[in-house]
């Protein structure tokens, strides 16, 4: 049913009274403090005692605990009145780690009547959390050129605890290159920077492994670690640097625009683009300063840009940065303090009154070069000036004061144009004002040449090899000398110093171009006649007096295979055929003929070998390729033709090889007849005869006479015997010893070739022994006497050994003369 207005009003007043009473009751607040993480069941406080309540009221008035949190951490034991821990309390979970105080608010509510007690439970922090880094591993790339003291920010560690249990400090593992700098923020947080102690060298250590440890202030303390990996970058490791960190410069007011204040010269030990620098102002340089001075970014030259007024500003601070152009550009800074001085606004002047622009290098010490005057329009100390020479290089000159404000420049040391041909002499005049002002004047002094240097050849001895048969006029070499002088003192003339060799002047054999030193051969050289030449070449300059030097030239003629082997045995007229007659009853190994060829070349080119070019019956004859002996390889049979034809080629060892041939016609007969004939002379070109050959002829004649008697005896004995019979060994040895120096054969040639060029003798057996006359004529020809008989008759040739030392021979190649007939009869 609807309520009356009075009833409603009465109820509203009652409700207001009740809430007013409850509000008054709830104003009393009890506060407790407990550490976090207390064990479950731990008693916080006895509420019955603290609130002044009877234990029974806790049950009758239905006391309950209302916690303003989603979790119920505490409860009331109604039997004992204790407030106990129902669930472990984690302060970091309940409250933010940024707050230093943490309260857990709750209400104890009683009914009949309703009464509320406010309870605030302060949760005290304990050190139950270790510091933790947001990143367990931090990577830093640091250039090896980073300067010591450089700072690098590191990721900080965080600790959920607060107060004394929060992070207290940091520690860095032992390192020679790095330390840490710990800073405290306004909120008490600890921040750490990595500081570079010393310069890094990637070649020494490319990677630095560091351990950063964060430690809190709890008891016991807890810690957390993080790994720092520092990689040293090996690029552009040298930063530009200035000679000074701070420069102090004085500049006079009203200096003209464009006046050079100074030129910065930063140094970078790198090369290439890493050493190319750009100069610029830093942010610390004010705009006003930049308006007064200009900076050349390439050269570092600082000039006055605007009018400078001392009354406006007494000084300027210019901060300059030099940055290289490397891939990881580095920079160096300096500070220039420019002081403006309101004094000495006139520059001193230097004037050249007289000057010799050229000077000979042999002038005497003390020679006057120039007269200089100096002046300054200022007065007092500002007008006193001094004159000096530029000290960049040591100059062989000295300034002497001749009178007031006049100086004379003299030669103080000997001059050498070849060392320094020109001098740039700068006269620097400076006053004694503050700041000191200066001016300079530069003159150029040319040093004239005198003939004080002889020509110089690159070598003191030249060895030139020339192959024989050269073309006359061929260029042999170029002998160029060098003269460090100038002009006519440098112009050289070459000529051959006269020397005669066998009544022949060197200038008839060789020619040299007087202008360039090209050496030419004027004739064709023959190795067999000329082997070498030794003479001097002189180079003379055109100075006054002329200077000269000479060099020794050794010309060595090299052999060329230009001589065809000459067959001297068996000798025959040009194009004729050699005819040899041998007994048909000869045994195997019988010496039919011996081919001897000589070659005028030397060494390899003169080594002759023999080959059969044509042969009628290859099974009947053999040829020794080294000594030229033609021997039978078997006995003749009745089927063999009576006439055999052999063509022997003698070939030297040159490249290309040259050769000569001889045709030998061999006829076989049943009996040999020795004819008689006169002798003729056959000249042979051979250059190996001396006066001692006369004694050789006498000895050879004696031996030949004894041999002739022995052969006649053997012929008589053979004619008396119808059949050939074997000769006793003793007689065979005697005959061999007697026949050691000759051979009998009609129209046959017996020769011997040993390891060296051994003696060989070719003897005609046509009833006469012919004496061999070896004569050394002016033309060096060998005269060989031979029988004057019809074509086909035998002849006599003897060759002199080239080696004078003893030689050993074998029985098959001994230098002997054998009776062909006796050989055919003996087994």
pLDDT, tens only, 70-90: 677 788 888 888 888 888 887
DSSP letters along 214-283, please? EEESSSS--EEEEEEEEEEE-SS----B-S-SEEEEEEETTPPTT-EEEE---B-SS-GGGG-EEEEE-T
Give residue-wise pLDDT tens across range 86-129: 888 877 777 766 667 788 788 888 888 888 888 888 787 777 77
Q: Which residues does residue 332 pair with via DSSP β-bridges, in sequence order?
A: 322
Residues 663/567, Cβ–Cβ less than 8 Å: no
What percent of the chain is predicted at pLDDT more than 70? 77
Q: Which residues does residue 267 pair with via DSSP β-bridges, in sequence order?
A: 241
Q: 606 φ, ψ to 5°?
A: -100, -5
E strands, 270-343, in order: 277-281, 293-295, 301-304, 315-324, 331-341
Q: What is the dihedral of CA 815, 820, 825, 827, to 10 degrees?
A: 30
52 against 756, higher pLDDT: 52
Mean pLDDT of the chain: 76
**Cis preceding-peptide flag for 722 (omega within 30 of 0):** no
Element holding 549 (H helix, E strand)? strand 548-558
57 against 786, higher pLDDT: 57
- Decide if pLDDT at 210 tops 70: yes
Q: 800 φ, ψ to 5°?
A: -90, 135
Q: Where are the domains of the chain?
A: 30-124, 132-233, 241-341, 349-439, 461-558, 566-669
What is the rounded CA–CA span in Å between residue 771 and residue 759? 16
* pLDDT value, residue 258: 92
Residue labelled with tokens 């009914």: 111
DSSP letters along 94-133, please? HS-TT-S--EEEEEEEETTTTEEEEEEEEEE--S----EE
Tell me, rounded to whole angstroms, the distance of Cα 271 from its chain centroid: 19
Q: Give, in order, the Cα–Cα distances in Å from 514 to each of 90, 404, 458, 464.
A: 112, 59, 18, 19
Residues 638/585, Cβ–Cβ less than 8 Å: no
Residues 231/328, Cβ–Cβ less than 8 Å: no
Query: In this structure, is the dihedral angle defined by the CA atoms of residues 7, 10, 12 and 15, taken in order, positive or negative?
Result: negative
pLDDT band at 320, cuts 50/70/90? Answer: very high
Q: Give, in order, the Cα–Cα distances in Å from 784 to each of 566, 595, 613, 771, 820.
A: 16, 17, 28, 9, 22
Give residue-wise pLDDT tens across range 545-574: 899 999 999 999 888 887 888 888 887 766
Residue labelled with tokens 């002044």: 52
* pLDDT value, residue 319: 95
- Mean pLDDT, residues 300-320 taken together: 88
* pLDDT value, residue 681: 40
* pLDDT value, residue 227: 92
* pLDDT value, residue 802: 34
Q: Which residues does residue 465 pair with via DSSP β-bridges, in sequence order?
A: 556
What is the rounded CA–CA span in Å between residue 195 and residue 183? 13
Give residue-wise pLDDT tens across range 749-769: 333 333 223 333 333 333 222
Q: State the architecture of 132-233 in CATH terms.
A: Sandwich (2.60)
- Mean pLDDT, residues 202-206 taken together: 78
- Mean pLDDT, residues 265-278 taken together: 82
Residue 796, token pair as written in the block: 């006599």
* pLDDT value, residue 575: 61
Element holding 650 (H helix, E strand)? strand 643-651
Give residue-wise pLDDT tens across range 144-160: 778 888 898 888 888 77
Give residue-wise pLDDT tens across range 657-667: 888 888 888 88
- Mean pLDDT, residues 207-217 taken together: 89
- Which CATH fold would you assign to the domain 461-558? Immunoglobulin-like (2.60.40)
What percent of the chain is predicted at pLDDT more than 90? 18
376 against 492, higher pLDDT: 492
* pLDDT value, residue 84: 84
Q: Give, in order, the Cα–Cα distances in Å from 462 to each of 360, 713, 779.
A: 36, 69, 34
Q: Give, in order, the Cα–Cα distances in Å from 230 to each of 140, 181, 191, 319, 330.
A: 5, 17, 19, 32, 19
Cβ burial, residue 684 (10 Å; 0-12/13-18/19+): middle
Q: 616 φ, ψ to 5°?
A: -70, -45
What is the rounded CA–CA span in Å between residue 772 and residue 759? 14
* pLDDT value, residue 752: 31
Residues 584/670, Cβ–Cβ less than 8 Å: yes
Radius of gyration of the chain (CA): 63
622 against 271, higher pLDDT: 622
Q: Which residues does residue 74 pair with via DSSP β-bridges, in sequence order?
A: 85
Domain 30-124 classified CATH 2.60.40.60?
A: yes
Q: 403 φ, ψ to 5°?
A: -160, -175
Classify domain 566-669 at the CATH class level.
Answer: mainly beta
Q: Is the pTM of this model over 0.75?
A: no
Cβ burial, residue 691 (10 Å; 0-12/13-18/19+): exposed
* pLDDT value, residue 758: 30
Residue 211, token pair as written in the block: 């351990």
Going by C-alpha positions, the residue among 791, 795, 767, 793 that lies closest to residue 783 is 795
Give residue-wise pLDDT tens across range 457-485: 999 899 999 988 889 988 999 988 998 98
E strands, 559-628, in order: 566-569, 578-583, 591-594, 596-598, 609-615, 621-623
Q: 825 φ, ψ to 5°?
A: -85, -25
Range name among 17-31, 79-93, 246-260 with the lowest pLDDT average: 17-31
Residue labelled with tokens 């070499």: 477
What is the rounded CA–CA span in Å between residue 315 and residue 248? 10
Going by C-alpha positions, the residue among 143, 338, 133, 317 that lies closest to residue 250 is 338
Question: What percent of the chain is helix, strand and coil (3-state, nearest 5)?
Answer: 15, 40, 45
- Decide if pLDDT at 379 tops 70: no
Going by C-alpha positions, the residue among 811, 816, 705 that lies closest to residue 758 is 816
What is the rounded CA–CA span in Å between residue 599 and residue 607? 7
Range name among 118-132, 222-236, 555-569, 728-742 with the lowest pLDDT average: 728-742
pLDDT band at 266, cuts 50/70/90? Answer: very high
Residue labelled with tokens 């030129």: 263
- Which CATH code is given to the segment(s) 349-439? 2.60.40.60
- Decide if pLDDT at 805 tops 50: no
What is the rounded CA–CA span in Å between residue 85 and residue 62? 20
- Which CATH code is given to the segment(s) 241-341? 2.60.40.60
Decide the pairing of beta strands 438-448 and 422-431. antiparallel
Residues 184/192, Cβ–Cβ less than 8 Å: no
Centre a 10 Å sphere on the Cβ of residue 332 and count the other Cβ atoms it contains. 20
- Mean pLDDT, residues 387-395 taken together: 79
Residue labelled with tokens 């510091």: 131
Q: Tell me whether the CATH fold assigned to 132-233 matches the one assigned to 566-669.
A: yes
Q: 98-102, 459-463, 524-528, 635-639: which has the highest mean pLDDT?
A: 459-463
* pLDDT value, residue 69: 64
* pLDDT value, residue 554: 94
Residues 557/532, Cβ–Cβ less than 8 Å: yes
What is the rounded CA–CA span in Å between residue 78 and residue 455? 129
- Mean pLDDT, residues 332-361 taken together: 86
Residues 696/774, Cβ–Cβ less than 8 Å: yes
Count of residues for the chain?
827
Residues 87/44, Cβ–Cβ less than 8 Å: no
Buried b (16+ CB within 10 A) or exposed e, 488-525: ebbebbbbbeeeeeeeeebbebbbbeeeebbbebeeeb
What is the rounded CA–CA span in Å between residue 695 and residue 689? 12
Residues 336/318, Cβ–Cβ less than 8 Å: yes
């Amino acid at each position: 049913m609807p309520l009356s207005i009075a009833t409603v009003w009465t109820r509203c007043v009652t409700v207001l009274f009740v809430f007013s009473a409850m509000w008054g009751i709830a104003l009393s607040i009890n506060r407790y403090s407990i550490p976090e993480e207390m064990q479950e069941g731990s008693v916080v406080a006895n509420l019955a005692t603290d609130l002044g309540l009877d234990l029974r009221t806790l049950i009758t008035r239905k006391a309950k605990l209302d916690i303003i949190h989603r979790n119920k951490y505490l409860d009331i034991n109604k039997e004992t009145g204790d407030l106990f821990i129902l669930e472990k309390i984690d302060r970091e979970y309940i409250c933010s780690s940024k707050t230093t105080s943490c309260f857990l608010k709750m209400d104890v509510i009683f009914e009949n009547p309703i009464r509320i007690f406010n309870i605030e439970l302060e949760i005290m922090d304990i050190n139950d959390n270790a510091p933790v880094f947001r990143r367990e591993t931090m990577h830093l790339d640091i250039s090896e050129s980073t300067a010591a003291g450089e700072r690098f920010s590191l990721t900080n560690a965080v600790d959920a605890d607060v107060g004394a249990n929060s992070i207290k400090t940091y520690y860095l593992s032992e390192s020679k290159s790095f330390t840490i700098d710990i800073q405290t923020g306004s909120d008490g947080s600890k921040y750490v920077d990595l500081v570079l102690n010393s310069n890094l060298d990637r070649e020494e250590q490319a990677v630095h492994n560091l351990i950063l440890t964060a430690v809190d202030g709890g008891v016991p303390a807890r810690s957390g670690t993080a790994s720092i990996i520092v990689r040293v970058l090996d690029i552009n490791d040298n930063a530009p640097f200035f000679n000074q960190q701070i420069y102090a410069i004085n500049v006079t007011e009203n200096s003209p625009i464009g006046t050079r204040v100074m030129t910065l010269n930063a140094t970078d030990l790198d090369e290439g683009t890493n050493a190319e620098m750009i100069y610029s102002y830093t942010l610390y340089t004010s705009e006003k300063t930049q308006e007064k001075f200009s900076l050349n970014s390439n050269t570092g030259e600082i000039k006055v840009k605007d009018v400078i007024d001392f009354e406006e500003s007494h000084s300027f601070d210019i901060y300059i940065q030099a940055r290289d152009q490397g891939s990881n550009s580095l920079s160096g800074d300096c500070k220039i303090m420019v002081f403006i001085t309101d004094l000495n606004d006139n520059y001193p002047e230097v004037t050249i009154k007289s000057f010799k622009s050229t000077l000979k290098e042999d002038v005497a010490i003390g020679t006057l070069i120039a007269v200089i005057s100096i002046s300054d329009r200022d007065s007092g100390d500002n007008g006193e000036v001094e004159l000096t020479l530029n000290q960049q290089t040591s100059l062989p000159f000295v300034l002497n004061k001749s009178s007031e404000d006049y100086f004379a420049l003299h030669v103080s040391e000997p001059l050498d144009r070849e060392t320094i041909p020109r001098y740039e002499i700068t006269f620097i005049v400076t006053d004694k004002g503050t700041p000191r002002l200066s001016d300079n004047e530069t003159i150029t002094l040319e040093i004239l040449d005198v003939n004080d240097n002889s020509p110089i050849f690159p070598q003191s001895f030249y060895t030139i090899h020339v192959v024989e048969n050269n073309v006359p006029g061929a260029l042999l070499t170029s002998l160029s000398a060098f003269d460090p002088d100038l002009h006519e003192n440098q112009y050289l003339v070459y000529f051959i110093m006269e020397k005669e060799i066998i009544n022949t002047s060197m200038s008839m054999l060789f020619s040299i171009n007087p202008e360039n030193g090209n050496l030419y051969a004027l004739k064709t050289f023959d190795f067999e006649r000329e082997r070498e030449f030794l003479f001097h070449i002189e180079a003379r300059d055109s100075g006054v007096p002329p200077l000269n030097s000479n060099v020794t030239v050794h010309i060595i003629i090299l052999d060329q295979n230009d001589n065809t082997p000459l067959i001297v045995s068996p000798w025959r007229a040009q194009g004729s055929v050699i005819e040899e007659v041998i007994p048909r009853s000869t045994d195997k190994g019988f010496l039919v003929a011996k081919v001897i060829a000589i070659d005028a070349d030397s060494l390899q080119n003169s080594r002759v070998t023999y080959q059969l070019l044509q042969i009628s019956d290859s099974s009947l004859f053999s040829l020794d390729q080294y000594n030229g002996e033609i021997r039978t390889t078997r006995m003749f049979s009745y089927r063999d033709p009576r006439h055999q034809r052999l063509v022997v080629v003698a070939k030297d060892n040159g490249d290309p090889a040259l050769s000569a041939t001889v045709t030998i016609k061999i006829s076989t007969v049943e009996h040999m007849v020795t004819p008689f004939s006169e002798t003729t002379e056959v000249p042979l070109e051979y250059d190996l005869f001396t006066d001692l050959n006369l004694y050789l002829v006498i000895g050879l004649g004696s031996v030949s006479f004894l041999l002739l008697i022995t052969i006649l005896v053997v012929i008589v004995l053979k004619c008396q015997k119808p059949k050939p019979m074997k000769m006793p060994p003793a007689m065979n040895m005697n005959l061999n010893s007697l026949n050691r120096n000759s051979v009998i054969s009609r129209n046959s040639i017996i020769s011997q070739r040993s390891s060296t060029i051994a003696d060989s003798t070719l003897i005609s057996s046509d009833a006469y022994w012919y004496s061999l006359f070896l004569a050394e004529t002016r033309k060096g020809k060998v005269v060989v006497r031979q029988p004057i008989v019809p074509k086909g008759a035998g002849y006599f040739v003897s060759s002199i050994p080239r080696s004078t030392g003893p030689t050993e021979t074998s029985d098959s190649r001994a230098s002997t003369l054998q009776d062909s007939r006796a050989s055919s009869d003996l087994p």
